């Protein structure tokens, strides 16, 4: 049984189309309920599961709602996403994203055996996903091991002083030059010649990575103190951008005044959130690798890494570690190479 994993980077708009829904209108109609001539929209969650046994496309990705298939990612999109999705599934996770199902009854017509026109109504529907780019679906690092609370997503907050911590940040920057990361937020004192300032320090994997301005620190400190009093570290999501020479962190967290009473009450006791997975082979995804995986009921470990022609055989069970890139001394992989194949 896989653990559901919310893919990161949802933006609140449903921009990713799903194809083949016409084969599953019966399922869509059950999701919509009783259809009418007016379009109905239902927001729900969809699971994305690779289907390498698909005879038309080895990179096929099923879209399932309530355990029932409702369509597929378009062929070109499936080739871009399948690496990340297959790796998630291989680590015991079930990738899920917000989905919007739209449906209505439409008037149509045909002709009877005498050539007379007749009109009728039929159901039509479609599915769209709130799905970000492949390199922004999974954070580059794991959440803290300590008991913590993840702040809800909020507006952008820029971090300062990242240039002093490149040794910590550069290893997390992927080939796309940007990635999501977990950060923790801590109250610290900064001594100046005349005053002492209380600021928020941003840490990545326990190491300092920058600080917030006094103004923005004031927006978050009440929440940090509230959770600290309850034995919880304050964690947030951030975008890390840059290269070997420069790094920038932007937090996307709700300010203290934006937290609802329900959120504070729900997260006021010590509880460790589900750990985010570390996904090997994300670099391969950026290089248009095409891993495959068995269907939704396949257990983790049911496929293996597939080295390109001219590469030595890897040790049994080997998977690329985080940040892995193909060794430069080995022949380049053919375009669209399938990095993962079903284990025999």
Integer Rg of the chain from CA? 24
- Taking phi over 0 as left and psi of -120 to 50 as alpha, with beta for the rest, 182 belongs to beta
H-run or E-run covering 242: strand 233-242
Please say if the pLDDT value at position 280 is more than 80.
no
Alpha carbon distances (Å) from 83 to 136, 280, 326: 13, 10, 15
What is the Cα–Cα distance from 101 to 274, expressed in whole angstroms?
A: 28
Whether this model's pTM surpasses 0.85: no
Distance of CA 78 to the CA centre of its chain: 15
> What token pair was written down for 282?
């994300």
Average pLDDT of the residues in 30-46? 91
Q: Give the confidence band of 278 by pLDDT, cuts at 50, 70, 90.
A: low
pLDDT digits (tens, 9 = 90+) for 292-301: 333 333 333 4
In this structure, how many other beta carbons lie within 10 angstroms of the beta carbon of residue 338?
19
pLDDT digits (tens, 9 = 90+) for 179-230: 999 999 999 998 877 888 999 999 999 999 999 999 999 999 999 999 999 9
Of 289, 322, 294, 323, which is closest to residue 308 (Cα–Cα)?
A: 289
What sign does the dihedral 256-259-261-267 (CA atoms) show?
A: negative
In this prediction, residue 46 carries a pLDDT of 96
């Amino acid at each position: 049984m896989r653990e559901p994993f919310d893919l990161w980077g949802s933006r609140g708009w449903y921009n990713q189309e799903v194809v083949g829904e016409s084969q599953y209108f019966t399922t869509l109609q059950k999701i919509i309920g009783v259809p009418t001539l007016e379009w109905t929209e239902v927001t729900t969650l969809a699971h994305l599961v690779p289907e390498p046994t698909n005879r038309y496309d080895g990179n096929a990705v099923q879209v399932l709602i309530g355990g029932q298939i409702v369509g597929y990612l378009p062929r070109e999109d499936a080739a871009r996403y399948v690496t990340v999705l297959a790796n998630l599934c291989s680590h015991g996770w079930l990738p899920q994203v917000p989905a919007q199902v739209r449906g209505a009854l439409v008037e149509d017509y045909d002709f009877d055996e005498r050539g007379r026109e007749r009109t009728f109504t039929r159901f039509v529907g479609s599915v769209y996903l709130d799905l970000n780019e492949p390199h922004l679906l999974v954070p580059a690092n794991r959440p803290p091991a300590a008991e913590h609370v993840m702040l809800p997503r909020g507006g952008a907050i820029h971090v300062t002083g990242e240039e002093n911590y490149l040794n910590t940040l550069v290893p997390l920057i992927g080939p796309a030059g940007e990635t999501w990361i977990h950060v923790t937020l801590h109250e610290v004192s900064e001594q100046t010649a005349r005053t002492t300032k209380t600021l928020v320090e941003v840490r990545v994997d326990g190491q300092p990575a920058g600080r917030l301005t006094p103004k923005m620190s004031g927006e978050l400190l009440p929440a940090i103190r509230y959770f600290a009093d309850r034995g919880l570290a304050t964690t947030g999501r951030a975008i890390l951008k840059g290269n070997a020479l420069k790094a920038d962190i932007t937090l996307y967290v709700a300010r203290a005044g934006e937290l609802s009473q329900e959120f504070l009450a729900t997260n006021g006791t010590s509880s460790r959130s589900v750990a985010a997975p570390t996904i090997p082979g994300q670099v391969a995804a950026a290089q248009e690798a095409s891993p495959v995986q068995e269907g939704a009921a396949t257990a983790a470990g049911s496929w293996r890494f597939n080295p390109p022609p001219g590469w030595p055989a890897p040790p049994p069970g080997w998977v690329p570690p985080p940040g892995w890139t193909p060794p430069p001394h080995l022949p380049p992989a053919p375009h669209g190479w399938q990095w993962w194949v079903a284990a025999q």
